[in-house]
Structure 1
Amino acid sequence: MASGVTILDGGMGRELLRMGAPFRQPEWSALALMEAPELVGRAHRAFLDAGAQIVTTNSYALVPFHIGPERFAAQGQALAELAGRIARDAADEHGGGAGIAGSLPPLFGSYRPDLFDPEVAPDLLRTLVAGLSPHVDLWLGETLSATAEAAVIRQVLGSDRRPLWLSFTLADELTDGRARLRSGEHVARAAAEARALGAAALLFNCSPPEVMAAAIGEAATALAGSRMRLGAYANAFAGTGRSAANAGLSPLRTDTGPVRYLELACSWAAAGASVIGGCCGIGPEHIRELATSLG
């Protein structure tokens, strides 16, 4: 069994929902940040207590798609700063030296590469970066559906010297045994772009756990000789495609409990992953299992 794997946290939105935090679409996890920020801190601490070594800021839904363009313009940077501060305070209070990943999310809806606007995206990202910057140790561009999204993140970060981790979401099914981004791009293309952008890690997230090992294996082949880290954090959606991420609360699978999730994660580690965590529907109990066996 692999050892020395860095353990990420799990899915913030579903954990907030389970805790009884204010939660609805379209605001998603941003609603708790605005109305019950103490519960966001409690969720971070639950993942830290479970063994997470890196916690991700609750900034995934701080985009106009979720909170509306007017609120984003008026409060976006302040809310991002609050998200970063809550994560940092939770890590400092925990005392275990956990790192803080600044979440830079898809800006125009999850799983929607067709809506990506490269002219509008930089200004939205600058707002998030300005708010999060005082508090984070690394940048995490996550649930990216296309390599174009990653390129804009690198553009906006400019000369920022903190590590950049890029995490792409994958199509729900393999095609001829191969994984693809939701844009249709091959994993090898994502790996080449991550290398060109100077990323320190290439991850895959918010996708079924069954497609992760193939993606990691393909990335490992494409990045042979590189020092870039690989990793994965899967979701537990029972639904697939766009509806699972944007239309409402998708039901969760019943076959991805902590023990089964660990079994799947071991296959990712065997394929080359050294960073493993969880996405939507993966809670502290899953992270505890990962930390105990892999961390």
Structure 2
Amino acid sequence: MTQITLLDGGMGQELVHRAGDRPTPLWSTQVMVDHPGMVAGVHRDFAAAGATIATANTYAIHHDRLEGTALEGKFDELHGLALAEARDVGGVGRVAGAIGPLGASYRADLMPTHDEAVAKFAEVARAIGPHVDLIICETVVSLAQTRAVLEGAQAAGKPIWIAFSVSDDDGSVLRSGEPLADGVALAGAAQAVMANCSAPEVIKAALDVLATSGKPYGAYANGFESISDGFLEAKPTVDALKMRRDFTPDLYADHAMRWVDHGATIIGGCCEVSPAHIAEIASRLRAAGHTIV
């Protein structure tokens, strides 16, 4: 059968559930300071569930997100913490460095100028590049972000994967309203193309587009009811987002196996995808005769 790369699941939401702290705009980053070792524990649980890539908790560590907070000026220190906790995991084949959006997730309107964005993405890439096996540019919502993050990520000197976040109404369209196909056409520097942090029901339409790239492709969806208007405001916190009541490991694995049947060779989970969800996918993959690599 097929060799499948199994990514881990949603680090940020898993930390929210485990920490029990009041969410802040820096929830997944603040946890590394307030609860040392918790991120490593999440990594270990995803590895035990069957994930073969640990995605370091570097997604939201950008200067513009730290400005005006108690963590301002701790850019290098926070990257060091995230990378150390990702490496403190046995049984995972590779460590990926995550590069998330500038400003906030899902907000194409917050992108700075191209040159400024490239410089900011490149600074992250240089910080994490020596310590990871690959870079994943995550939750890419616009063509401008695609151009800038791929250019900046090359500063890491490591293979680059890109994950586009698509409309929850139409998987062939980026959250900016631009065609996903145009984003894929710009992804020449990426070794793999994916859809992430989108509703699982629209992923198949995204895969139809990603398949045209000629590159390995895949998906890792979220378990939110929707991306609420409250989360699109300035400095949002995750209490503006709600998990779907039907988002069980069985339901998510049903979707994931359909993606594999559709040609996806990279599968995982984003927000609200827990180790239990990843374990169910791993079990289904093995039962179907696939090899997890």
Alignment of 1:88-167 (within 5 A): 88-90=87-89, 94=90, 96-117=91-112, 118-158=114-154, 160-167=156-163
Q: For each residue in 1:191-250, what CA deviation from the matched residue of structure 2 results, as whole angstroms up to 9, or x when unmatched? A: 1111x3x21110111110000011101221x32xx2x11111000001335535635321
AA matched with 1:235: N
Q: Does 1:251 align with 2:238?
A: no
The answer as to whether partners of 2:16 and 2:27 remain within 8 angstroms in 1 is no
Greater displacement, 114-123 / 228-237: 114-123
Shift of 1:183: 1.1
Q: Which runs of 5+ in 2 are unaligned?
A: 286-291
Question: Aligned partners of 2:43, 2:230: CA distance in 1, in Å?
Answer: 27
Residue matched to 2:10: 11
Question: Aligned partners of 1:286, 1:231: CA distance in 2, in Å?
Answer: 17
Q: For each residue in 1:241-288, what CA deviation from the matched residue of structure 2 results, as whole angstroms up to 9, or x when unmatched? A: 553563532110011211111111112112221101011101000000
AA matched with 1:131: A
Q: Does 1:213 align with 2:212?
A: no
Residue matched to 2:288: none
In structure 2, do the counterparts of structure 1 residues 166 and 130 end up closer, same or farther at CA, with 3 Å as the change threshold?
A: same
Percentage of matched positions with identical amino acids: 35
In structure 2, do the counterparts of structure 1 residues 24 and 116 end up closer, same or farther at CA, with 3 Å as the change threshold?
A: same
Q: Report the number of matched residues.
A: 281
Q: For each residue in 1:22-49, what CA deviation from the matched residue of structure 2 results, as whole angstroms up to 9, or x when unmatched? A: 4522112001112223101111111011
The answer as to whether partners of 1:22 and 1:31 remain within 8 angstroms in 2 is no
Residue matched to 2:172: 179
Question: Aligned partners of 2:276, 2:193: CA distance in 1, in Å?
Answer: 25
Shift of 1:54: 0.5
Q: Does 1:230 align with 2:225?
A: no
Q: Does 1:57 align with 2:48?
A: no
Question: Aligned partners of 1:61, 1:37: CA distance in 2, in Å?
Answer: 17
In structure 2, do the counterparts of structure 1 residues 79 and 157 end up closer, same or farther at CA, with 3 Å as the change threshold?
A: same
Shift of 1:21: 5.7
AA matched with 2:249: P
Residue matched to 1:266: 257
| Stretches of 4+ aligned residues off by more than 4 angstroms | 69-73
Shift of 1:126: 3.2
The answer as to whether partners of 1:28 and 1:61 remain within 8 angstroms in 2 is no
AA matched with 1:193: L
In structure 2, do the counterparts of structure 1 residues 241 and 79 end up closer, same or farther at CA, with 3 Å as the change threshold?
A: same
Shift of 1:72: 6.3
Q: Does 1:168 align with 2:152?
A: no
Residue matched to 1:76: 75
The answer as to whether partners of 1:172 and 1:208 remain within 8 angstroms in 2 is yes
Shift of 1:6: 0.8
User: What TM-score does the superposition give when structure 1 sets the normalisation length?
Assistant: 0.88
Question: Aligned partners of 2:21, 2:131: CA distance in 1, in Å?
Answer: 25
Secondary structure in 2 aligned to 1:37? Answer: coil
The answer as to whether partners of 1:26 and 1:67 remain within 8 angstroms in 2 is no
Secondary structure in 1 aligned to 2:162? Answer: strand
Q: Does 1:240 align with 2:227?
A: yes
Q: Which runs of 5+ in 1 are unaligned?
A: none
In structure 2, do the counterparts of structure 1 residues 200 and 179 end up closer, same or farther at CA, with 3 Å as the change threshold?
A: same
AA matched with 2:107: R
User: What TM-score does the superposition give when structure 2 sets the normalisation length?
Assistant: 0.89
Shift of 1:290: 1.0
AA matched with 1:135: H
Question: Aligned partners of 1:110, 1:279: CA distance in 2, in Å?
Answer: 13
AA matched with 2:178: E
The answer as to whether partners of 2:8 and 2:53 remain within 8 angstroms in 1 is yes
Greater displacement, 97-106 / 19-28: 19-28
In structure 2, do the counterparts of structure 1 residues 159 and 77 end up closer, same or farther at CA, with 3 Å as the change threshold?
A: closer
